[in-house]
Amino acid sequence: MRQSDSEARAGADSITRAIGGRVRQGRSSRGWTLDQLAERSGVSRRMLVSIEQGSANPSIATLLRISDALNIGLPALVDMDRSSNLRVTRAGTAPVLWRGKLGGRAVLVAGAESPDVTELWDWTLGPGESHSSEAHTAGTRELLLVLDGQLELRVGQHGEVLAKGDSASFAGDLDHEYVNAGAAQAARFALTVFEPAAGGGAAR
């Protein structure tokens, strides 16, 4: 059953509050002030205050900087289920961490925590929509599989157009961009991010 707009907003608010609580807990457990976390993460003190209060909707890049600074990896910051042997995320319950203006969204459907962080994403880009990502920490690799539509993948100075069923492996420690250049159809793709020994503090 499809979520209503009010249910989607309530879910997003719940995720935002949960992330704020985990940031605050991670910072406090290390005995860090907001200024210290700001210095280590490169995220402004004002933004950190808003995140901890649950009143901000931080970008994926901001969450990655904070998770790296706390040395916990993004899945632990967003974390849905902390059971150790089997983690199941039911359809429609995974956190949406990015929403585009043309219908796109990025859903973190599963993840494994540090020291070697792995993230599994379900991405959708509306027609004409794109998303740019800063270079992740050194050694990061990404795997991508196009599920629907057509996607242009740009990594550093190189670009490739991928059709449904095409896949790619690329260096996530270079700036990269996902582009749906089509005018009629959404592009959907699965993305796995592997970051060895995450949490070195470098911006992603």
pLDDT per position as a tens digit, 154-183:
999 999 999 999 999 999 999 999 999 887
pLDDT of residue 10: 52
Amino acid in position 176: H
C-alpha dihedral, 88 to 65 to 107 to 46, nearest 10°: 110
pLDDT digits 0-9 by tens, 69-112: 888 878 888 775 555 677 788 888 888 999 999 999 999 998 88
**pLDDT for position 149:** 95
Average pLDDT over residues 179-201: 83
